[in-house]
């Protein structure tokens, strides 16, 4: 749609509504390049289009691959239209008809979309339906329920202009879908943003696990479990738990990541707790308390390269 036609359509909107309309339209234009995944993009797009039209409900339908069956990917207020039971099938047939149409169309309440059509609108609302095209074929439909008396389309001229608007707005939807889903040239920025969000979430979980394990282990600081075998059993079980979560104990002497072990030493009948780690000088043991020490946990270091 040319800039001149867009400006004419904007000029035709009532002055009291023009500023709000332009603001919502601008947000829709910016959505395709936003750093969001496909589902968030569809949700945001539908929210703004429903707002733009002052619609009572809306939905975006996607066609299943290799079939013409449709399913709703996102919706607002559709449950209020009463399309269950006997009205469900006629409504689905109307949406299927819209999928095969070359452009958007407005269907009057309880009416067919055009001469010769064998489907009809089973609701008491004006339904605006716009096909979504991707890679040369129809992939879905945008549906808006404008109510029995559309507040922003009270005359036939108004309603015709909003059909033109939907054809234009679907282009922004197609662009957003293509960038996220259809093409191999998906933008790097949204992908990197989503990966960074996932990484941050995982790191938060790891930090929570580390803190929880520290609290649990430090509740045994100063304990001796009565025998060398018991102390070794506790130390080994602790190491397995830490290793499963990518953690090590911080050596109290040098600060390096270490495995806390219990070994027989000198006259101690129950053994001593040692920090086992590899330093620049080779494998090293620090420590020597006969009771379980207070611990600080840290990330497991990378595996050493074999010589």
Query: Using one digit for the tens of pLDDT, what is the confidence trace for 204-221?
Result: 889 999 999 999 999 999
CB atoms within 10 A of CB 37: 14
183: confidence class by pLDDT, cuts 50, 70, 90: very low
Q: Which of 122, 150, 188 is nearest to 50 (CA)?
A: 150
Average pLDDT of the residues in 125-148 = 90
Question: What 3-state class would DSSP assign to 263?
Answer: strand
The DSSP code sequence of 146-207 is --SS-TT--SHHHHHHHHHHHHHHHHHHHHHHIIIII-S---HHHHHHHHHHHHHHHHHHHH
199: confidence class by pLDDT, cuts 50, 70, 90: confident
Dist. CA 72–CA 88, nearest whole Å = 13
Per-residue model confidence (pLDDT) at position 149: 84
C-alpha pair distances (Å), 244 with each of 15, 210, 212: 64, 12, 14
Q: What domains are defined for the chain?
A: 3-186 (3.30.450.40), 190-299 (no CATH)
Which of 32-36, 54-58, 162-166 is most confident?
54-58
Q: Which residues of 74-107 are buried (b: 16+ CB within 10 A; e: fewer)?
A: bbbebeebebeeeeeeebeebbbbbbebeebbbb
């Amino acid at each position: 749609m040319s800039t001149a036609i867009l400006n004419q359509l904007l000029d035709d909107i009532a002055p009291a509504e023009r500023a709000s309309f332009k603001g919502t339209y601008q947000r829709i234009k910016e959505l395709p390049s936003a750093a969001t995944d496909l589902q968030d993009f569809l949700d945001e797009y539908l929210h703004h289009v429903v707002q733009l039209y002052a619609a009572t409900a809306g939905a975006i339908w996607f066609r299943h691959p290799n079939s013409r069956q449709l399913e709703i990917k996102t919706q607002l207020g559709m449950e209020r239209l009463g399309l269950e039971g006997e009205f469900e099938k006629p409504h689905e047939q109307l949406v299927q008809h819209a999928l095969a149409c070359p452009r958007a169309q407005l269907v009057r309440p309880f009416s067919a979309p055009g001469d010769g059509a064998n489907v009809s609108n089973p609701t008491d609302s004006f339904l605006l339906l716009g096909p979504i095209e991707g890679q040369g074929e129809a992939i879905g439909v945008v549906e808006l329920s404008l109510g029995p008396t559309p507040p922003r389309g009270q005359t036939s001229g108004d309603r015709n202009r909003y059909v033109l608007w939907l054809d234009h707005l679907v282009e922004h939807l197609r662009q957003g879908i293509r960038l996220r889903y259809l093409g191999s040239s998906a933008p790097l920025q949204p992908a990197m943003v989503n990966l960074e969000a996932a990484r941050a979430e995982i790191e938060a979980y790891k930090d929570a696990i580390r803190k929880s394990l520290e609290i649990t282990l430090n509740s045994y600081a100063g304990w001796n479990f009565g025998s060398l075998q018991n102390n070794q059993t506790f130390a080994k079980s602790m190491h397995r738990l830490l290793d499963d979560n990518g953690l090590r104990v911080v050596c109290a002497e040098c600060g390096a990541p270490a495995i806390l072990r219990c070994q027989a030493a000198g006259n101690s009948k129950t053994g001593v707790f040692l920090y086992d780690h590899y330093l620049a000088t080779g494998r090293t043991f620090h420590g020597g308390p006969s009771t379980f020490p207070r611990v600080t946990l840290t990330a497991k270091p990378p595996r050493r390269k074999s010589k």
